[in-house]
Amino acid sequence: MKNHVNRVVLVGTGFVGSSYAFAMVNQGVTEELVLVDLNKEKSEGDAMDLNHGMAFAPSQTKIWFGSYADCKDADLVVLCAGANQKPGETRLDLVEKNTKIFKSIVDEIMSNGFDGIFLVATNPVDILTYAVWKFSGLPKERVIGSGTILDTARFRFLLGDYFKVDTRNVHAYIIGEHGDTELPVWSHADIGGKPIAKMMKDQEHYKHDDLEEIFTNVRDAAYHIIQRKGATYYGIAMGLVRLTKAILQDENSILTVSAQLSGEYGHEDIYIGVPAIVNRNGIREIVELSLDVEEQQKFDHSVEVLRKVMDPVMKG
């Protein structure tokens, strides 16, 4: 008999947060889902709206608009709150603004006795995940960022589309910063166990230029979507649900999350997107791929760029 009731607290019910809540209910991932937001009316409305669809859900989820006090018994707190980048605002401006917002949120959550796992989605996600780890005092394995989970999903989708293969049979990773310096790990990309490099060699109609274009479209996908509809939220929401399932169901799944390096890939004291084994305790271990020389250089560059933005805020 299962006695434990899983509780997830979602902080921030904007586009990403409400899409996450909707996907959570449709997949029946948790028994309790608490919505927390400064905009009380909007979140109350979301809770009502989601509850009204419960007759169509695969399993029952108790949903309510709550407060940070509800974090005491939570297994997972998902952070989707924060400010968006405005025209004319630098990335550093956004980091400073969201770091201050996160300090007050995390302090409130911890003062209410939270002892679970943090999942961070707000951008810049790698830096804010580091900030949550610092502010919370929790072990590094229990603070996870969404990292390059969506970039990797986009990569797999576009490769599957190109090679005419089910996305789920494409095994390839995007690692590094969730942003402009991310990189594809071509040296470990395969389809059904066959390296993509071998497929390119065997069939002349596949072009390397096409692969470069695929990666460019992955890296710049958010810009293309924002240009068309103002924001991206469905893909990342589904990625967050995937992560939530891996945690609550103790799956030991390998997902590209923002995890803290402790010597892996030649770096430490930084949160960045890498494949990691995720289970009920958070990050069980980081999967260290042997990168080729060019990939390692690009990864080093990604770390350097993150540090330059993060250090003035976190160590200033």
Residues identified as active-site = 178
User: Smallest Cα–Cα separation from 23: which of 299, 308, 237?
Assistant: 237
* DSSP bridge partners of 13: none
**Angstrom distance (rounded) from CA 132 to CA 23:** 25
The answer to whether residues 77 and 109 touch, using CB atoms and an 8 Å cutoff, is: yes
Phi and psi, residue 81, nearest 5°: -80, 170
Q: Output the CA–CA distances (angstroms, integers) from residue 141 to 41, 130, 179, 271, in the order listed.
A: 35, 12, 22, 11
**Angstrom distance (rounded) from CA 235 to CA 154:** 9
Dig out the tokens for 2 from the structure: 């299962």
Residues 6 or more apart from 124 whose CB is under 8 A from it? 91, 94, 95, 98, 177, 178, 179, 309
Torsion of CA 290, 239, 145, 9, to 10 degrees: -150
- Scanning the structure block, which residue is given the tokens 């924002």? 226
SS3 255: strand
